[in-house]
Amino acid sequence: MTSAAFLAGAAQVSLLLILVGLAVAFVRLAKGPSLADRVVALDMMTVTIISFCGVYAVFMDEPSFLDVAIVLALVGFLATVALARYAERRLERDQQDHDTAAQSETRND
């Protein structure tokens, strides 16, 4: 077995496993009971797509896909930070609403 054939086989197996990981993350994104589960699943999907771009660039000997992977990594990071801030503010807002409701119940008693 030549090194080129081994690299091609390894790349094909890697692409298949990455697609399986992407499918699992998509199921968690669609099914996830909480917002945190969905955020983690979206981040996992971003990472798997980035790895797909990297393996595909090696497999097809096309380095321009690495540029796509870098841009996607930056956008994915910003999206994860934005969703985490949204989740944090939502949790704080829900906690304030709960505290306000508890205070009004104690005043009515």
CA–CA distance, 52 with 94 (Å, rounded to integer): 38
CA–CA distance, 80 with 101 (Å, rounded to integer): 31
Amino acid identity, residue 54? G
pLDDT digits (tens, 9 = 90+) for 38-89: 889 999 999 999 999 999 999 998 999 999 999 999 999 999 899 888 888 9
Domain of residue 15: give its range. 3-108
pLDDT at res. 77: 92
Read off the CATH number of the domain in which 75 is found. 1.10.287
Q: What's the number of CA atoms in the CB half-sphere (13 Å) around residue 107?
A: 6
Tally of domains in the chain: 1
Residue bearing tokens 């990455």: 18
DSSP three-state, residue 47: helix
CA–CA distance, 7 with 1 (Å, rounded to integer): 10
Structure-token pair, residue 29 = 């994104």
Structure-token pair, residue 55 = 């393996």
Share of the chain above pLDDT 90, in %: 60
